[in-house]
Amino acid sequence: MSEPIIRVEDVHKSYLMGKEAVPALRGVSLDIQPGEFVCLMGPSGSGKTTLLNIVGGLDEPGRGHVIVEGENLVSLSENKLARLRLTKMGFIFQNYNLLGNFTAQENVEAPMVLAKNGRRQRKARAQTLLERVNLADRMHHYPNELSGGQQQRVAIARALANDPAILIADEMTGDLDSQTGFAIMELVASLNKEGMTIVFVTHDPRMAEFAGRVVNLQDGKIIS
C-alpha cells in the first residue's frame, strides 16, 4: 500500500447549540489511498458532511489530525491552508455555488485567477474543461441560462481548473433528476479512472454504487 493521500486520525468535532456542545464526530480515523473513490454515507446528523468539510480544510477538528499529501491541516496557517485547497483540491457542492454575473467560462477561470495563471492560459484551459463536460456550446451563457445539470457540469469544470489531486463533493446530485445524476456520476467516475482521488457524500444508494468503497457513519462514528 502506498502512503495515504488523506489520513484522518482520531478526529472529534462538536458544535455549540445554545450553551450545549453537541458532538458531530466522535473519534473518527480513516485512511484514503491515492486514486480511491470513496463515498461517505449515513443518516442526517451522522457527521458525514462535517467529516467531508474537515477533510477539505473547510472546517477544523476540535481534536485530532488531518493529513493531506503529507501536510497536517491542523498546523497550517490560513494562507497555507487556502493555498493547499486552491492547488490540491477541487470542490463540488449540491447548490453549484456559481457566480451569477459570470459566464460559464468565467466561472471556470475564477480559481485560475486566484492561482495567478495568465489570461491566455486560463481561457484555453477553461474552454478545454467545458468541452470535456460537453458544454462547449454554453461557455458564454450565464448560470440562469443553464439547467441544473449544466450548472453542475460547470461546477465540475471549475473544480478541475487547477488540476487538483483530490475532488471533494457534497451531495453533488441531490438537486438533479435521476438521469442527470447518473450522467454526472459517470463523468466523475471517468475522472477517478484517470487517477483522481474522489471523496463524496450522498444519501442515494444508487449513486454510492459508483464508489470503490463506502464508509458508513452513524452518531459521529464510522460503523462500517
Q: Where do the domains of the chain lie, and which CATH numbers do they carry? A: 34-59+77-222 (3.40.50.300)
pLDDT at position 110 is 96
Tell me how crowded residue 35 is: count the other CB atoms within 10 A of its CB.
16
Q: Is 132 left (phi over 0), alpha (psi -120 to 50) or beta?
A: alpha
Crossing angle of helices 119-132 and 104-114, in 10° steps, is 130
- Rounded Cα distance between 126 and 158, Å, is 8
pLDDT at position 2 is 77
Strands 221-222 and 6-17, by their bridges, are: unpaired
Return phi, psi of residue 188, to 5°. Answer: -65, -40
Return phi, psi of residue 83, to 5°. Answer: -65, -40
Q: Cell 503529507, residue?
A: 70
Determine which of 17-21, 130-134, 188-192 has the lowest per-residue pLDDT on average. 17-21
User: What cell was used for 62?
Assistant: 476540535
pLDDT at position 1 is 60
Yes or no: say if 148 and 86 are a contact pair by the CB < 8 Å rule. Answer: no
Tell me how crowded residue 99 is: count the other CB atoms within 10 A of its CB.
12
pLDDT band at 175 (very low <50, low <70, confident <90, very high): confident
pLDDT band at 17 (very low <50, low <70, confident <90, very high): confident
Yes or no: say if 224 and 216 are a contact pair by the CB < 8 Å rule. Answer: yes
Q: Which of 209, 192, 186, 202 is nearest to 48 (CA)?
A: 202
Q: Given a cut of 80, is residue 161 above it in pLDDT?
A: yes
Yes or no: say if 202 and 42 are a contact pair by the CB < 8 Å rule. Answer: no
